[in-house]
Amino acid sequence: MLPKVIFGICEILPRVDVRAAYSWYYYRPFLLWAITTGLFVKFAYVRFFTRLGWSRCAIVDVTMNAVSSLLNHIAVPAAYLAWALPRLALNQAFGTDDADPVNWVALLLLMALISAISDALVLHFVFSQRLGQKWFWLLYVVNTMCVAAAACGMYFFLVAHPPTA
């Protein structure tokens, strides 16, 4: 089922072979950028938010990043499915197409939201840290920075290594 959903993303990328772009060959650089950025940025967030010791913050940070990385296998198709109806309405109302940047940005923002929710759940259930609304939205901004860095890294990798059909 998951491969069908992933290959169904071709609708939003009409001029890009999604099977090549989302294959493990191209997905590894995406995770590399996401994990690297996440380790540094989320560590600062955890250190500031929890005021735990350095070693405990590192454990929390690595756990949050591990869960987010595993969840990214589901987050991309879930973000696509969540954005499907609004995308169709937006395309119909404003005459945009599936390759319009607003569709890409919306998908990245939904991926960041899913990642922020997973991080908040890890903080709450694994490490007994409660997040208020203000701290959750700050975590969302942190995850948005990580997803944006990963998307830029993926873009540069795709430019350097274009998919071959």
User: How do residues 69-125 score in pLDDT, each as one tens digit?
Assistant: 787 777 777 777 887 888 888 888 888 777 677 777 888 888 889 889 999 999 999
Could you tell me the end-to-end alpha-carbon distance of the chain, in angstroms, rounded to an integer?
Answer: 24
The pair of structure tokens assigned to 90 is 């937006």
Q: What is the span of the domain harbouring residue 133?
A: 54-165
Q: Is 47 a domain residue?
A: no
pTM, two decimals, is 0.75
User: How do residues 110-138 score in pLDDT, each as one tens digit?
Assistant: 888 988 999 999 999 999 888 899 999 99
Q: Could you give the 3-state DSSP secondary structure of residue 33?
A: helix
Q: Is 2 a domain residue?
A: no
Q: Is 159 a domain residue?
A: yes
Q: Is 96 a domain residue?
A: yes
